[in-house]
Amino acid sequence: MIRVQQLFKRFGTFEALKYLDFEVASGESVGLLGENGAGKTTTMRVLSCFLPPTSGLVEVAGHEVVFESAAVRRKIGYLPESVPIYGGMRVEEFLKYRARLKGLRGRAVKEGVDRVLGEVDLIGRRRSLVQNLSKGLRQRVGLADALVHDPELLILDEPTSGLDPSQRREVRDLIRNLEGRHTVLVSSHILPEIEATCRRVLVIHDGRVVAQESIDSLRRLGTADRFLLRARGDLVHLEAAVARIEGLELVQSRTEDGIHELILNTEDRQDGRPQIVAAAVAAGLDVVELRAANVSLEDAFLRLIGKGDDA
């Protein structure tokens, strides 16, 4: 559905996107995760034909975004972070207007509007003025607008931005319900939003894709070089033994009920468990447990972009 090769985008001397490479298959639900300013919105604007790339290849549904932009626009529904809706129009009136702009005619306009009003649970609000709706309901109107022409690809830029917790949950539920019927690309700087709506994540940092993983794989990536050691004995001897292992870093140490717990990192994602056990035993300690440490999705993300505790 999406093919991006060596995408580069420059604004004057500022390099916003630096040779991005990624693909999204038809029917996938993929999150574009990164801090504010990482390049997420620029990427989505290029995919949506609002910005031309400086260089590189970008295809959506087999169409190139520069030379076949009209064909691309027919295939996508785009929800920008700031939803462009007209407050003086009624919900149904606005959606019919947008449907016609997107090429729907005759009976297809009414059918498309009726369908999306049901999908976003706004049937009871079809006669309401948009300006009288809460922000959460206006976001649903924006999502209905993106869906009214039944696009193959749905591009959602920070779809829960500015919503309260209840509204965020409602929008997340709506997005999850679209999985399989549409290819969905969602951007966010909020980890729980991506985790709740997507099965795969592209991590973007400083204009570069630094990881392309499933949510579970991203967590495992964060634990690949981090271990929890639990042992009994002299803590001073244990820490000294660990310090002698080349490429091993002590991140955290605590003692509870006579058992010392150490969080250890190894360089270059090496499996340092054999050396850790050997050092502990040689120091006369009783090893209770040694395993990969639990790492939150947030920890894994921060380590990928170089802002974790071992950066």
Same fold, 2-220 and 224-304: no
Per-residue pLDDT of 238-278, as tens digits, reads 888 888 887 777 777 888 888 888 888 776 556 677 888 88
pLDDT of amino acid 311 = 43
Domain extent listing, the chain: 2-220, 224-304
Per-residue pLDDT of 44-90, as tens digits, reads 999 999 999 999 999 999 999 999 999 999 999 999 988 888 889 99
In the chain, what percentage of residues exceed pLDDT 70? 91
pLDDT of amino acid 277 = 86
222 band by pLDDT with thresholds 50, 70 and 90: low
CATH code, 224-304: 3.30.70.80
219 band by pLDDT with thresholds 50, 70 and 90: low
Q: Check pLDDT > 90 for residue 193.
A: no
Instruction: For domain 2-220, say whether CATH 3.40.50.300 is its number.
Output: yes
310 band by pLDDT with thresholds 50, 70 and 90: very low
Dihedral (CA of 215, 218, 224, 228) sign = negative
pLDDT of amino acid 128 = 96
Average pLDDT over residues 99-119: 95
CA distances in angstroms from 90 to 132, 133, 154, 171, 203, listed in the order given: 9, 10, 24, 21, 39
Per-residue pLDDT of 140-187, as tens digits, reads 999 999 999 999 999 999 998 888 888 888 889 889 888 888 999 999
In the chain, what percentage of residues exceed pLDDT 90? 52
DSSP string for 177-243: HTBTTBEEEEEES-HHHHHHH-SEEEEEETTEEEEEEEHHHHHHHHHTTEEEEEEES-HHHHHHHHH
The distance between the two most distant Cα atoms of the chain, rounded to a whole number of Å, is 83
- Burial of 23-33, coded b for 16+ CB within 10 Å and e otherwise, reads ebeeebbbbbb
Would you say 259 and 285 are in contact if contact means Cβ atoms under 8 Å apart? no
Q: Quickly tell me which residue has 């169409």 as its tokens.
A: 63
Q: How far apart are CA 112 and CA 115, in angstroms?
A: 5
Q: Check pLDDT > 90 for residue 226.
A: no
pLDDT of amino acid 298 = 67
